[in-house]
């Protein structure tokens, strides 16, 4: 028997429906999936039958847990593969942001990393009571990419920096309050929602019928202290400020930062601060430069080893201390790749 394709596509009434179909790996994204999604979306953009596009994840655990880290780990040393995987992903993220028809992402379950790239940049972002949204890349030796500096930089105050440096997991309600999602719908009504969008076509009107009332946000209870700590000019200053906050959330933040790659922390902090006022294309261009530079270094592969391969959860970062991160090495990560290699968009 032939295996099912990694992305299923169908046109139902007036909706094109894409289903990420790798539930055994939490619908993590790889090059064939990016290509399939992009091709089908371009086809539907010109299809008069299709009034809206809906993307969802197979299974009940995840919308999409991110990119296929193991595939990237196994591709170490293959510069051509690294160029392809990041380029095709970022091209898709940018296309989603300007898609000419309503684009609806059903972010039920785990939605992380690359899963945020194909959802948060979209027009209609639906969460449920099972949503777990995060950008945990600094703990993996990478950084919040996929244009995350664009959407995290637009979160209230310094909450985006807080999320980026700590990998803090949000529930659906928190995601809406921080501007990363738009509506919360019960997970057991998603099939009904899809059918309603397919037959009605007016996505906003359908969402108003299905969405639940929005309760207060837990994360915004700490907004003033988060702004005071995470609005600082360096990661070291953030850590120092957290030491003066006597609250469980601050201890959790300290622990998360202490376990992350020092190089990743420095890159993440700079990337978010420099993203202010930039377009998504500019942010993705910078992300592409950083990602390719990090593929020539050790920390990402060490993080993948510790979390996915050996699973000892004891990464040995190089350097191991924030104080030992060379500012010139960080500068080099942000430098242009050159006219023949830099990111471009159609």
Task: Give catalytic residues, as residue numbers.
Answer: 67, 114, 137, 145
State the Rg of the chain over Cα. 20
Assess contact for 15 and 44: CB atoms under 8 A.
no
The three-state secondary structure class of 22 is coil
Question: What is the rounded CA–CA span in Å between residue 187 and residue 210?
Answer: 11
Long-range contacts of 258-261 (CB under 8 A, 24+ apart): 259/139, 260/138, 260/139, 260/165, 260/167, 261/138, 261/139, 261/140, 261/141, 261/142, 261/299, 261/303, 261/315, 261/317
Please classify residue 166 by burial: count the beta carbons closer than 10 Å to its beta carbon, then call 0-12 exposed, 13-18 middle and 19+ buried.
buried
Considering only the C-alpha atoms of the chain, give the largest distance between any 2 of them, rounded to a whole number of Å: 60
For the chain, helix (H) and strand (E) counts, in that order, are 16, 9
CA distance 197 to 204: 9
Cβ neighbours for 83, distance < 8 A, ≥ 6 positions apart: 292, 341
Residue 71 has which token pair? 């595939």
Distance CA 299, CA 264 (A): 8
Phi, psi of 161 (to 5 degrees): -65, -40
Query: How many whole angstroms from its chain centre is CA 285?
Result: 16
Q: d(Cα 341, Cα 336) in Å, to the nearest integer?
A: 9
Say how far apart CA 303 and CA 142 lie, in whole Å: 8
């Amino acid at each position: 028997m032939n295996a099912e394709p990694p992305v299923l596509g169908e046109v139902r009434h007036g909706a094109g429906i894409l289903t990420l179909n790798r539930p055994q790996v939490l619908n993590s994204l790889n090059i064939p999936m990016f290509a399939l999604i992009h091709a089908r979306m371009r086809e539907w953009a010109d299809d008069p039958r299709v009034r809206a596009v809906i993307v969802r994840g197979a299974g009940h655990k995840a919308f999409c847990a991110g990119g296929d880290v193991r595939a990237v780990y196994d591709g170490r040393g293959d510069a051509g593969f690294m160029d392809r995987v990041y380029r095709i992903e970022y091209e898709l993220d940018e296309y989603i942001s300007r898609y000419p028809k309503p684009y609806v992402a059903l972010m039920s379950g785990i939605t992380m990393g690359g899963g945020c790239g194909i959802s948060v940049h979209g027009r209609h972002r639906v969460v449920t009571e099972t949503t777990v949204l995060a950008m945990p890349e600094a703990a993996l030796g990478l950084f919040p990419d996929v244009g995350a500096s664009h959407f995290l930089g637009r979160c209230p105050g310094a909450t985006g920096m807080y999320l980026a440096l700590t990998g803090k997991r949000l529930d659906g309600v928190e995601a809406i309050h921080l501007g990363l999602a738009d509506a919360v719908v019960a997970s057991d009504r998603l099939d009904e929602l899809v059918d309603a969008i397919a037959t009605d076509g007016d996505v906003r009107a359908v969402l108003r019928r299905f969405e639940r009332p929005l309760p207060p946000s837990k994360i915004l209870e700490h907004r003033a202290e988060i702004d005071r700590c995470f609005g600082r000019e360096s990661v070291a200053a953030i850590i120092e400020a957290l030491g003066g906050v006597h609250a469980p959330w601050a201890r959790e933040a300290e622990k998360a930062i202490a376990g992350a790659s020092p190089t990743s922390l420095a890159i993440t902090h700079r990337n978010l601060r420099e993203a202010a006022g930039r377009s998504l294309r500019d942010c993705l261009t910078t992300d592409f430069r950083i990602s390719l530079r990090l593929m020539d270094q050790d920390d990402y592969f060490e993080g993948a080893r510790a979390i996915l391969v050996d699973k000892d959860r004891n990464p040995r970062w190089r350097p191991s201390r924030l104080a030992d991160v060379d500012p010139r090495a960080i500068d080099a990560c942000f430098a242009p790749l050159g006219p023949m290699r830099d990111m471009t968009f159609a």
